[in-house]
């Protein structure tokens, strides 16, 4: 039988340099994986989605950058660590996924909703805003209207933002 189009098996060229960059960024255990699939079988997100942890780790070992970085699957992990607990080779799977996500963001692959969370964290010190309803509720509970965090402290907020100017987070997420 002749296969065509989507059915055709393709051979992908490994990219050892990309695989090496994952290891260098902290994924030292990447090559310990022998593809048993315990991770995929343990993944609660994999029950609901097409995300397959074993497959992602294989692609990472081969350095298949173009497959990994733009994919939605990369963002289906909830960082629950169940796979890490059960991995017979003690691969730091969750850490490797977070390294790959860092690479994806650097290449500009970032969901708009994630940009919003990141920008709120940068500009207010918190991932979510403090709205008037909750200010009122805090007062009713006898708490300070604003929590004693970065929120109500201009000097602390200035320091907070300065750190992200130094690390380049402001530019990374495309905010101000």
Partner 1 sequence: MTERYALFLGCIAPLRYPGIEKATREVFKALDVELVDLEGAGCCPAPGVIRSFDQTTWLALAARNLALAEKKGLDIITICNGCFGSLFDAAHLLHEDKQKVKEVNKILKEVGLEYVGDKIKVRHFADVLHKDIGIERIKSKVVNPLNFKAAVHYGCHFAKPSKIKQLDDPERPSILDELVEAVGPKSINYRDKMMCCGAGGGLRTRANEIAMKMTEEKLANVKKAGGQFIVDVCPFCHLQYDRTQKDVPGYNIPVIHLSQLYGLAFGLPRENMGFESHHVPVNL
The least distance separating partner 1 from the CB of residue 77, rounded to whole angstroms, comes to 5
CB atoms within 10 A of CB 148: 10
The least distance separating partner 1 from the CB of residue 120, rounded to whole angstroms, comes to 9
CB atoms within 10 A of CB 56: 24
Is 34 buried (19+), middle (13-18) or exposed (0-12) by CB count in 10 A?
exposed
Q: Which of 79, 88, 107, 174 binds partner 1 (CB under 8 A)?
A: 79
In this structure, are residues 91 and 123 in contact, taking their beta carbons and an 8 Å threshold? no
In this structure, are residues 43 and 35 in contact, taking their beta carbons and an 8 Å threshold? no
Q: Which is nearer to partner 1, 14 or 50 (CB)?
A: 50
Contact residues for partner 1, defined by CB under 8 A: 25-26, 44-45, 47-49, 72, 75-82, 84-85, 90, 94, 98-99, 101-102, 105, 110-111, 113-114, 117-118, 121, 125-130, 134, 137-138, 141-143, 147-150, 153, 155-156, 159-160, 162-164, 166-167, 169, 172-173
């Amino acid at each position: 039988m002749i296969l065509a189009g989507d059915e055709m098996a393709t051979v992908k060229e490994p990219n050892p340099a990309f695989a090496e960059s994952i290891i260098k960024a902290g994924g030292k255990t990447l090559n310990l994986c022998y593809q048993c699939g315990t991770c995929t079988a343990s993944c609660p997100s994999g029950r609901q989605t097409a995300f397959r942890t074993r497959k992602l780790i294989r692609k990472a070992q081969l350095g298949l950058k173009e497959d990994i970085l733009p994919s939605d699957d990369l963002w289906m992990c909830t960082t629950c660590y169940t796979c890490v607990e059960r991995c017979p080779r003690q691969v730091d799977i969750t850490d490797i996924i977070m390294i790959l996500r860092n690479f994806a963001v650097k290449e500009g692959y970032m969901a708009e909703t994630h940009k919003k969370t990141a920008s709120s964290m940068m500009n207010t010190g918190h991932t979510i805003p403090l709205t008037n309803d909750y200010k009122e509720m805090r007062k009713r509970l006898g708490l300070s209207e604003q929590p004693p965090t970065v929120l109500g402290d201009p000097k602390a907020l200035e320091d907070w933002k300065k750190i992200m100017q130094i690390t380049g987070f402001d530019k990374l997420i495309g905010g101000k």
